[in-house]
Structure formats: C-alpha cells, structure tokens
C-alpha cells in the first residue's frame, strides 16, 4: 500500500496515512522488519485485498501508541485472513496510550478480525485504549485471536459487529472478541465489553476449546447474540464458551454481566452460554440478562459450572432457568444470592445427564421446586450446603433426584435474624411420607414411598412442613381421626420420635388391628416400643421404649375394653425421659383389668401432651393392639418329707429339688435352710434338714416346708499305717 518495511521502522507523527490500497496485504503499512512502531499518527481509509487493511505486521515487535486506526478494510475470503485495522502474522504487539481502533472492517466471505486479527504471537492492550465499531463476517468483529496470548487492560471493546455490517455473517461469532486457537490464554482486566453484536454466538466474547478466558473486573454489558441455529446451543449474549474455560472474577471491582441478550430461534444463555468446557464465576453480578429459550443469566451444557459469592437478579428466560440453567454438567453454586422474585422464571434449573452426575449448591438462601431450583429426572443427587449458620432452605422433593441439605453451626448476634438453619419442606401432592431420625438432633431423612426421592438434611435447627402430621391408627372409637381431635404430632428436627422412624399422614389411619399407619410410608414406623411377652392383670409389665432425642413419654391403656382411652391415673402413665435413648417403662396392670384383646397408645413429645388426643408441635404417636392375661396367685405342690441314704463314701446326699408351682404370671421359687437360700442342686448332710420354699408373683405368694433325712448306711472301716523303722544317729534301730 503506502509503506513497505523490512527493517526497523519507527513511524512517529503526527502524521496521517490514508486512502491507500494493496492488492494483497498491508493497505497502509506492510512490515516484516524486527520492530515496527506507529506513534501519534492516524491510519484511515486504507484497503488490503487480503489482510491488514491498516497494518500488516510480521515484525517481532509492533508498538501502536497514541494512534488512531480507523476506516480501514481487509477483504480476504479465508478464515485466517482479515484484520481490517491491524493484521499480526507473528510476534508481539502492544496497543497503548489511549489508542483507538475503530470503524475497520474484514468484509471477505470468511473475513475475521474487523479491528485486529492476531494469527500468531502475543497481544497486549493497555489502559484506556478503545476498540469500537469494527466489523467482520466470520468472527471477531473487534478482535480475532487465533494462536497466542492476549491481555486487555482497562480496554473499551464496544459497538463491534459480526451481524451483517461487513457483509453476510458466516456464521457471525464473537461480536467483540473471538478466541479460536488452542492452548492459549486471553485475559481481560477491568475492561468494558459493551454493545457488541453477533449473528450467531457470543455477542461480546467467544472462547474456543482448550483456551482459558479470564475476565477480572469490569463489565460485559448490553451485548447481543441474535442466534441463527435454532437450538439451545446457540446464543451467549455476553459470552459464548465453546469447550474452553471461562473464569470470571473481581478486579478493581466485581465483574458485572448485565443487559446482554440471546435472541431469536431458541437463543440461550443471555449472559453466558457454555457448551462443554467449564465456567467459573466469583464475585460477579449477573443482572438483567435475557434469553429467548433457556438460561437468562447462564446456561451450561456439558462440562461444568461453578459460581461463588455472585448475585443473580432480574434475568429472564423464555423457557427455563431465569437465573441459571445447568444441563448435563457438574454444578457447584456457592454462597450466591438469587434475588427473590426478580429472575423469570424464578428457578435455578438443574438438568444433569447422565443420572450419575451430581450438582452441589452452596448458598446462603436456596429455594427449590416451583420456587427457585428446578431439577428433572436426569439429576441423581443434588447437594445443598449452607454457609452462614442462619440459612433458609425451601425444598420441594423431586421424583428423580435425591437431595442432601447441610446446614452449619448457628450464628448468634445478627439483629433480627434468629440463629440456626431452617428448612421448609413442600410436600404438595405427595401421599406417603416417612421420616428416619439421624444420629443426632437436626439430622434426618424424609422418604416418600416411591412418590419422590429422599430428602436428607444435617445441622438443621428448625423446620416447617405445612399440613403434615403423624397420626395414630387405633380404631376411631379411640378418637384417631382429625375430626375426632385425634392425636397428631407436627415435625421438628430437634424433637423426639419413638424409635428411629415415623410416618406422616393427612389424617388418622384407623384400622381393626392398629396397623394402618404402618402402611403409609417406606418403612414401618411402629418401632419405638417392645411389648412384653405376657401382660398379666394385677402384675407389672415392663415395656422397652426407645426415643430418638429426649422428651416426655406417655402411655394410655384401655384396661376396661370400652373403646376409649381414659385419661385417668389407672389408665395413663407418664415418664420423663430427657436424655432419650432406651427407657424401661414399668406399668402396673390393675387387677381389675379385663383379660383379652385391647389397645394402648404411646406418645412422645418434647414437653408432654397430657392427653391421649389433641395436637403436639413435635414427637410421634404409636398405637398398638395387646392381649391381657388373667392373673392368678401362686400355688406350690409341696413334696413329702424325704428319707434317703448317703452317697457312697460321703457323709451326705446330693439332691436336685424340682418343686412344681402354678400362677400367672409364672412365679419365682426360692428355697432356704435356716433362712439361707439354697440352689435347687444341693448336698444335704447326714441327719434331718428342714427346707422352707416360697413361690412369688405380682399377685401374691405361697409357702411350704418339708424335711430331708439322710441316713448313713455304710459299715465303718479303718486303715492301719505300715510299720515305721527309724535309725538314730549312731546307726542303731528301735
């Protein structure tokens, strides 16, 4: 064009290089020397038939300082041709000193890099430089980076276009910057990427596989992807990530991704669309972005996504995931704020495929189901971790996704904020609900009998489960139904239950055998009381009770079999059990109790109910059938006095005493000699011994006495010792 250089070339103005034409490369300047410096000058209206409308540089070092490069055109038709303002074949390029690259165009069929095309090398853009109003047909309305490293510092990248301004979009990706090489890094420090337009993907920025895009502080604002593919894979109004890595963090201030749009034909990911690869956001504000289809703020398809300490507000999607939608990707969402009622639809949509993938959300406020977090059948496990100890979790169970919610230690001292994590479990439409207490207070698992996957939680201090109660299941003569003011217990994660399980029902479950409650959940919840083998009128029966967490245990019996639990001292028994765990509850069965089949009711609650009916804020009720046996006082079939011979070679006789008794409950037998108890297997000495026996049960005792005489019938005998010979010290015998 105007200038051709093969050596060091220092172009220092003020000067203007304008309206020149090169048939191939370098409409204004063509340089293959070691260094090229363009200072305080203007390149305008120059044209190249292939690349570098303003500058074509093959120099090792290119410096552009306080310069204006405007209105230049490169018309190469290949994907690696273009660079309407500047084309960098190889080497390092520095744009500095408030330089501006504006209104340049790569108008070839596949022309790339309307402002700048970096083919090989490094590009550094320093503070307050401006890349604006450039256009291309294929990609990179402002800048195209093919192979190398690029750093933008406090740069304005705005009003660039790959949507028809240079010709026919083909396809039209990366309105502001398009990064298409492998194994390179592009870093944006406190930059403004604003009002750029792409026909297809990445209105502001477009990032390729194996490439890392770092955006640290600044703004990605009001960029548009008009999308033309008709699938949710197209869009990314602010950023499109095609399998690379996009990392967004704070610089001098948090990064703001605001007002970007993915429009037309299922455009998705208003703020960011990532297909494969990974997206990580820290200290970002995702505000007021829009997608025609999915992911008003962010849509991630495949790969992974994480966000930490971010704010999502006012984002809009036509289909799902007003703030965020994750599809077939690992997701970690940590300590974010989803402004309630501002994202439309309001849910954070989680959709993972295949089913063995998991999602983790760690946030200070998380809502589920129809309110905030939507997850479908492709998500196997969703983990939600609270951070500040005063988190609130709104949960609607999923038919396909198991959920784990983990709170943290309560934080005190926040004015107006009660300490502790809270859970609101929305069970609308579910008919079977069982609860299993965990290893400590605030830990447990809800299951839903096949209607939904389990919801587990840890370290939860309060819970609201609207309309859910544990009812009894004895016949309704015992006032079991809600209409009869039947016993019912609400849910409290810090409250006691009987055993380890409880079921929740919409109403009492009265049945003939008091087993209706057993059938409503995944497990039999009648697991808190072990009934003695025999319950005898007039005797004491010991019931082994186990409670998860401490409380007050209450028993109510129908001893007169009138179909009513009467709250009287004879039929009600209360045990304080503050530590929880095992309890041996001894119940005196009145002698007036009628033998036969009847029922009893056991209730546990944190502070006691004091009635067999009515409501309690926590705890559980269990109804049991039981059979009472008529008691009777003991009797003894006392043996006759015994006369026996001694055992051979012994001065006595060993006998086994087997003394029959009767009585209900079965009596205990004790025999004694002179008031000292003996075992049933005993050795009696020669002579006569008196044995006294007593049979005892709860209803009384019986006694008897008999003698045992042992005769010595052996002839006495003696054994003489052999003669003894002793020698004295002199050897004589005596």
Instruction: Residue 694: give its domain's CATH number.
Output: 2.60.40.10
Residue 28 included in any domain: yes
Q: Cα 351 vs. chain centroid, distance in angstroms?
A: 15
Strand order in the sheet with 596-605: 535-536, 620-629, 596-605, 551-557, 572-577
Residue 509 included in any domain: no
Residue 345 included in any domain: no
Question: Structure tokens of 472?
Answer: 């009894």
Q: Rounded to an integer, what distance in angstroms lies between the CA atom of residue 83 and that of residue 674?
A: 120
* Residue-range definition of the domain harbouring residue 571: 529-630
pLDDT at 291: 94
Total domains in the fold of the chain: 3
Q: Rounded to an integer, what distance in angstroms lies between the CA atom of residue 686 and that of residue 679?
A: 18
Q: Rounded to an integer, what distance in angstroms lies between the CA atom of residue 302 and that of residue 305?
A: 9
Question: Structure tokens of 353?
Answer: 């495929």
Same domain, 127 and 26: yes
Going by the DSSP 8-state scheme, the letter that residue 90 receives in this structure is S
Provide DSSP, 192-253. EEES-EESSS-SSEEEETT-EEEEEEEEEES-EE---S-STTSB-SSEEEESSEEEEE-SSS
Backbone torsions φ then ψ of 293, nearest 5 degrees = -105, -95
Same domain, 183 and 38: yes
Same domain, 546 and 676: no
- 362 strand-pairing partners: 334, 385
Q: Rounded to an integer, what distance in angstroms lies between the CA atom of residue 13 and that of residue 29?
A: 14
Question: Structure tokens of 486?
Answer: 């039947």
Same domain, 624 and 643: no
Backbone torsions φ then ψ of 651, nearest 5 degrees = -95, 35
Q: Rounded to an integer, what distance in angstroms lies between the CA atom of residue 2 and that of residue 46?
A: 9
Boundary residue ending a domain (584, 613, 630): 630
Strands 540-548 and 581-588: antiparallel
Within 10 Å of residue 282's Cβ, how many Cβ atoms?
18
Residue 475 included in any domain: no
Backbone torsions φ then ψ of 331, nearest 5 degrees = -135, 130
Q: Rounded to an integer, what distance in angstroms lies between the CA atom of residue 132 and that of residue 702?
A: 111
Terminal-residue alpha carbon distance, the chain: 154
- 553 strand-pairing partners: 575, 604
Task: Provide the H-helix boundaries in 395-492.
Answer: none
Q: Rounded to an integer, what distance in angstroms lies between the CA atom of residue 392 and that of residue 423?
A: 6
What are the angstrom distances between the C-alpha of 448 and each of 397, 488, 502, 503, 543? 9, 19, 12, 9, 30
> Is residue 22 helix, strand or coil?
strand
Same domain, 65 and 163: yes
What residues of the chain score a pLDDT lower than 50?
Answer: 229-230, 354-356, 521
Backbone torsions φ then ψ of 222, nearest 5 degrees = 60, 35
Max CA separation in the chain (angstroms): 158
Same domain, 90 and 189: yes
Same domain, 646 and 598: no
Same domain, 614 and 652: no
pLDDT at 410: 82
pLDDT at 386: 72
What are the angstrom distances between the C-alpha of 199 and each of 152, 167, 220, 236? 24, 11, 18, 11
Give the residue among 30, 71, 75, 26 at the shortest CA–CA distance from 49: 75
Q: Rounded to an integer, what distance in angstroms lies between the CA atom of residue 87 and that of residue 113?
A: 8
Strands 700-711 and 642-645: parallel
> Is residue 54 helix, strand or coil?
coil
- 405 strand-pairing partners: 384, 457
What are the angstrom distances between the C-alpha of 256 and each of 251, 272, 558, 571? 11, 12, 70, 70
CA angle centred on 222, ends 292 and 76, rounded to 5°: 95
Same domain, 623 and 648: no
Q: Rounded to an integer, what distance in angstroms lies between the CA atom of residue 552 and that of residue 554?
A: 7
Boundary residue ending a domain (165, 199, 233): 199
What are the angstrom distances between the C-alpha of 56 and each of 89, 96, 134, 316? 7, 18, 17, 43
Q: Rounded to an integer, what distance in angstroms lies between the CA atom of residue 1 and that of residue 47?
A: 8
Strands 278-282 and 245-249: parallel
The pTM (predicted TM-score) of the whole model is: 0.69
Same domain, 101 and 42: yes
Backbone torsions φ then ψ of 218, nearest 5 degrees = 90, -160
Q: Cα 689 vs. chain centroid, distance in angstroms?
A: 77
Q: Cα 601 vs. chain centroid, distance in angstroms?
A: 37
Q: Rounded to an integer, what distance in angstroms lies between the CA atom of residue 699 and that of residue 412?
A: 58
Residues 6+ away with beta carbon under 8 Å from 101: 69, 70, 85, 86, 95, 115, 116, 129, 130, 131, 132, 134, 142
Residue 190 included in any domain: yes
pLDDT at 649: 86
Give the residue among 207, 196, 372 at the shortest CA–CA distance from 273: 207
Residues 6+ away with beta carbon under 8 Å from 241: 207, 213, 272, 273, 274, 275, 276, 277, 279
Residues 6+ away with beta carbon under 8 Å from 502: 434, 435, 470, 489, 525, 620
Boundary residue ending a domain (154, 175, 199): 199
Residue 138 included in any domain: yes
Same domain, 62 and 140: yes
Question: Is omega for the bond preceding 46 within 30 degrees of 0, making it cis?
Answer: no
* Alpha-carbon dihedral 424, 288, 388, 617, rounded to 10 degrees: -10
Residue 567 included in any domain: yes
Within 10 Å of residue 383's Cβ, how many Cβ atoms?
17
Question: Structure tokens of 516?
Answer: 């209706």
Task: Give the start-end residues of each E strand in 314-428.
Answer: 316-317, 324-327, 330-334, 337-338, 348-351, 358-362, 365-367, 373-375, 381-385, 392-395, 402-406, 422-425
Same domain, 96 and 74: yes
Question: Is omega for the bond preceding 665 within 30 degrees of 0, making it cis?
Answer: yes
Residue 178 included in any domain: yes
pLDDT at 366: 60
Which residue has tokens 């948090």? 254
- Look up the CATH number of the domain holding residue 552: 2.60.40.2950
* H/E segment holding residue 553: strand 551-557
């Amino acid at each position: 064009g105007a200038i051709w250089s093969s050596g060091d070339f220092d172009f220092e103005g003020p000067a203007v290089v304008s309206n020149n034409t090169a048939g191939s490369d370098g409409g204004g300047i063509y340089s293959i020397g070691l260094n090229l410096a363009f200072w305080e000058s203007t390149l305008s209206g120059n044209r190249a038939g292939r690349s570098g409308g303003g500058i074509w540089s093959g120099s090792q070092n290119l410096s552009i300082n306080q310069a204006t490069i405007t209105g230049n055109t490169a018309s190469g038709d290949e994907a690696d041709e273009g660079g309407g303002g500047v084309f960098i074949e190889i080497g390092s390029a520095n744009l500095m000193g408030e330089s501006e690259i504006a209104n340049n165009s790569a108008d070839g069929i596949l022309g790339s890099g309307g402002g700048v095309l970096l083919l090989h090398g490094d590009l550094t853009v320093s503070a307050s430089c401006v890349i604006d109003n450039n256009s291309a047909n294929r990609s990179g309305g402002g800048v195209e980076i093919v192979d190398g490293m690029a750093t933008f510092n406090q740069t304005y990248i705005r009003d660039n276009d790959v949507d028809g301004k240079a010709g026919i979009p083909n396809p039209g990706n990366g309105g502001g910057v398009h990064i298409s090489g492998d194994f390179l890094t592009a870093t944006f420090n406190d930059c403004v990427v604003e009002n750029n337009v792409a026909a297809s993907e990445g209105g502001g920025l477009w990032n390729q596989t194996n490439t890392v895009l770092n955006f640290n502080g600044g703004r990605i604002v009001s960029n548009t992807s008009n999308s033309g593919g008709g699938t949710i894979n197209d869009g990314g109004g602010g950023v499109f990530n095609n399998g690379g890595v996009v990392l967004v963090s704070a610089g001098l201030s948090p990064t703001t991704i605001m007002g970007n749009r993915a429009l037309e034909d299922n455009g998705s990911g208003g703020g960011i669309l990532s297909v494969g690869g990974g997206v990580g956001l820290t200290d970002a504000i995702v505000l007021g972005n829009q997608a025609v289809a999915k992911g008003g703020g962010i849509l991630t398809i495949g790969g992974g996504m994480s966000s930490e300490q971010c704010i999502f507000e006012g984002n809009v999607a036509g289909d799902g995931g007003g703030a965020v939608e994750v599809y077939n990707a690992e997701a970690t969402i940590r300590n974010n704020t989803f402004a309630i009622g501002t994202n439309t639809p309001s849910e954070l949509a989680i959709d993972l495929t295949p089913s063995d993938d998991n999602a983790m959300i760690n946030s200070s406020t998380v809502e589920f189901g129809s309110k905030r977090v939507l997850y479908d059948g492709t998500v196997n496990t969703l983990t939600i971790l609270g951070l500040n100890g005063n988190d609130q979790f709104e949960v609607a169970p999923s038919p396909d996704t198991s959920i784990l919610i983990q709170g943290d230690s309560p934080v005190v001292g926040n004015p107006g904020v009660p300490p502790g994590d809270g859970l609101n479990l929305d069970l609308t439409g579910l008919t079977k609900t069982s609860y299993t207490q965990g290893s400590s207070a605030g830990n447990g698992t809800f299951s839903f009998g096949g209607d939904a996957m389990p919801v587990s939680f840890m370290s939860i201090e309060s819970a609201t489960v609207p309309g859910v109660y544990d009812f009894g299941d004895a016949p309704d003569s015992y006032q079991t139904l809600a209409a009869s003011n039947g016993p019912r217990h609400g849910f409290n994660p810090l409250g006691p239950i009987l055993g380890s399980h409880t079921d929740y029902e919409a109403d009492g479950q009265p049945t003939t055998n008091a087993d209706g409650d057993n059938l409503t959940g995944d497990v039999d919840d009648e697991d808190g009381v072990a009934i003695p083998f025999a319950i005898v009128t007039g005797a004491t029966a010991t019931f082994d009770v186990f409670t998860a967490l401490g409380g007050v245990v209450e028993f109510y019996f129908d001893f007169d079999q009138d179909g009513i639990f009467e709250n009287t001292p004879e039929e009600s028994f209360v045990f304080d059990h503050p530590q929880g765990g095992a309890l041996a509850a001894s119940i005196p069965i009145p002698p007036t109790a009628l033998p036969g089949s009847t029922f009893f009711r056991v209730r546990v609650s944190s502070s006691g109910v004091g009635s067999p009916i009515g409501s309690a804020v926590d705890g559980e009720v269990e109804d049991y059938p039981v059979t009472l046996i008529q008691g009777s006082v003991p009797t003894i079939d006392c043996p006759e006095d015994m006369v026996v011979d001694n055992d051979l070679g012994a001065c006595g006789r060993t006998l086994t005493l087997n003394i029959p008794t009767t009585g209900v409950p079965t009596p205990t037998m004790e025999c004694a000699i002179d008031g000292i108890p003996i075992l049933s297997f005993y050795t009696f000495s020669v002579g006569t011994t008196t044995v006294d026996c007593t049979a005892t049960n709860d209803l009384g005792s019986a006694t008897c006495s008999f003698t045992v005489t042992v005769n010595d019938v052996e002839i006495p005998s003696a054994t003489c010792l052999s003669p003894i010979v002793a020698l004295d010290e002199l050897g004589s015998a005596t």
